[in-house]
Amino acid sequence: MGTLREHMYPLQGLDDEQCWSIIKQRAFGGSSVPDSELEAIGRQITKKCRGVPLVANVIGASLSNRRDGREWASVNNNFDAGSSLEDDSRTWTVRVLQLSFDRLPNPTLKQCFAFCSIFPKDWEIKKEMLIQLWMAEGFLQPSQGSSMEDIGDKYFNDLLSYSLFLEEEKDSTGKIKSCKMHDLIHDLATSNSKSETLIFKASSESNIAHVRHLNLVDVEEMVPTNFVEVAGKLHSLFLKGDFLSKMPDSFKRLRILSFEKGWFWTANIEQLPTWIGKMKHLRYLDISHTDIEELPQFIMELYSLQTLRFMYCSRIVKQPEGVEDLVSLRHIYFNKDSCMPLRIGRLKDLQTLQSFVVVYKREVELRNWDA
């Protein structure tokens, strides 16, 4: 019986015709190439793809609906800019993919994409949650009758159309619920985050002085050595463990705080530190899967809060009071009857209510909604 090594075969890249087929499909859909000039330039680009399907797909997507030969020539001329024959395949691919990033239509979309490096590789990114995170970071501003959510939805679809996101899951109506990023696309996002985004691991020796978005992966009690010094500069913090109760009141600029189990397995937290109530810039708070018994009253003082998630908080037995004071709240998520906030009908900007508990006594129902 042969060994596994004996049955390993090197994968071959695509030939030029196959690469051109991908580029042509992504750039023109089912239509034919409009003129011979674009085809000639397109075939030159094809020869530079080195048979890598990801490169052909992303470059083709970046040329979608572009009919100006000068734009195609620009991609062709810049294809190998900054690369070297000595580059390994991964380095070369990321540098070529940079062409697609550079062609994104506006700086905000580039920010939104680079922010996605906060997720671990191969992570299933929930569309709704991602848009709310973008909102919390201030990337999305309402304009001309479009809400922040509308603009976020457009940006999400733009990144899909550029093949920087890979469709992962759809709902029953065919709408996309989640996406993933190819590992090399994740490397592209990381390289464009300007060292502001970091996934920190227990074995990491990364310098976090410039980090603004921090994901503490595989971290329980151990945190970066200069964590306290940079805490006041952080905008986003995703974590597990209960070590935050030992931290000083120093998260003055934090906009995103998440303990959610879907990120980091378990959130072994029975009591939230009171300094959370002092984070006046906090816009996104996820305390799902924690062991808290009630929503602390200091949460009701987070007047900038846009999204509040407390899913699977099985120990909560008392209906939260004071939620109506969260005047900026747009999205609230819970899945237990006892978590239904009182007087939730007073939230004038509410867009998402994960569930609504209908009780048997009408006067109690009305009290819960708008009393």
b/e code 37-66 from CB counts within 10 Å (16+ = b): ebeebbbebbebbebbebbbbbbbbbbeeb
pLDDT band at 260 (very low <50, low <70, confident <90, very high): low
H or E element in which residue 283 lies? none
Q: What is the pLDDT of residues 97-118, one digit of tens each?
A: 998 999 999 999 999 999 999 9
Average pLDDT for residues 333-361, to the nearest whole number? 77
Q: Helices 53-62 and 183-191 meet at what angle, rounded to 10?
A: 60
- Selection from 86, 85, 104, 82 nearest residue 95 by Cα: 82
Q: Is the pLDDT of residue 251 over 70?
A: yes
Strand bridging mode 197-200 / 166-170 = unpaired
H-run or E-run covering 256: strand 256-258
Burial class (CB in 10 A: 0-12, 13-18, 19+), 162: buried
- For residues 295 and 150, what is the distance between their CA atoms, to the nearest angstrom? 30
> Residue 358: pLDDT above 60?
no
Among 70-74, 281-285, 342-346, the least confident range: 342-346
Q: Give the C-alpha separation, 294 to 347, whole Å.
A: 20
pTM over 0.75: yes
| Measured distance CA(113)–CA(116) in Å, rounded | 5
Q: What is the DSSP letter of 15?
A: P
Residue 8 has pLDDT above 60, yes or no: no
Give the contacts of 193 (CB within 8 A, at least 6 positions apart). Answer: 114, 115, 117, 213
| Residue 195, pLDDT above cutoff 90 | no
- The confidence score (pLDDT) of residue 265 equals 47
Query: CA dist 116 to 68, 186, 197, 259, Å?
Result: 31, 8, 9, 18
> Above pLDDT 90, what percent of the chain?
53
Asked whether the predicted pLDDT for residue 185 surpasses 70, the reply is: yes
Task: Decide if pLDDT at 24 tops 90.
Answer: yes
- Distance, CA of 179 to CA of 109 (rounded, Å): 16
Q: With cut-offs at 50, 70 and 90, classify the pLDDT of residue 205.
A: low
Q: Sheet containing 166-170: which strands, arranged edge to edge?
A: 125-126, 176-180, 166-170
294 pLDDT higher than 90: no
CA-based end-to-end distance of the chain = 76
Closest CA to 320 of 295, 300, 287: 295
162-188: average pLDDT: 94
How do beta strands 331-333 and 352-353 pair?
A: parallel
Give the residue among 141, 175, 181, 140 at the shortest CA–CA distance from 159.
181
With 0-12 / 13-18 / 19 or more C-beta atoms within 10 angstroms meaning exposed / middle / buried, residue 261 is middle
Q: What is the mean pLDDT of the chain?
A: 85
Q: What is the pLDDT of residue 86?
A: 61
Whole-number percent of the chain with pLDDT over 70: 82
Q: Average pLDDT, stretch 334-349?
A: 84
pLDDT score of 298 more than 70: yes
CA dist., res. 258 & res. 243, Å (int):
14
